[in-house]
Amino acid sequence: MLQQIFALQESFDCSFSKRTTVPHVHHYRDENISDMYSSNFSQIYDAPGEGWIKSYIARQLQDAKERGLGHLKVTLHPSLPFSDELSCLLLIADRAQKETT
C-alpha cells in the first residue's frame, strides 16, 4: 500500500514538472513558473548516508544563494530511514534561504 502512495505522489509531481534524475536525486522543474515552490524542487530518493545528504543540502543552499533564487526546496523520500531525523535540517535550510531573499 505504501509503495502505491509513493508511486501516486511521483506521478502527481511529474504531471506538473519535468523530472530529471541524477544519482541519488530527482530534480523537478517547471521553467514556465520557476518561482513556484511546489513545482520546482529536488527530492533525495537514495543516499549513501546522512553526511552526504547534509553536504548536498549545503551545496544546494549555497548555489541557490549565488543564483539569487527565491526559494530552495529539497525533500527526502519518506522511505529513507533518516527522513525524520533530517527534516529539521531541511526546515532550517528553507528558512535560511527565505531570509536571504
pLDDT per residue over 19-70, tens digit each?
Answer: 989 999 999 988 888 777 777 889 999 988 888 988 998 899 898 889 887 7
Looking at the domain assignment, is residue 76 inside a domain?
A: yes
Strands 41-44 and 74-76: parallel
- pTM, rounded to two decimals: 0.73
Place of cell 551545496: 59
Residue with cell 513556484: 36
Domain limits at 101? 71-101
- 11 belongs to a structural domain: no
Cell numbers placing 19: 523530472
> Beta partners for 21?
26
Q: Output the nine-digit C-alpha cell for 26.
A: 530527482
**Amino acid making up residue 23:** P
Any domain includes 98: yes
Report yes or no on 86 lying in a domain: yes
- Residue 100 covered by a domain: yes
pLDDT at position 89: 62
Strand pairing class (25-29; 18-22) = antiparallel
Residue 45 lies in a domain: no
- Number of separate domains in the chain: 1
Q: Is residue 51 part of a domain?
A: no
Q: What is the DSSP letter of 75?
A: E
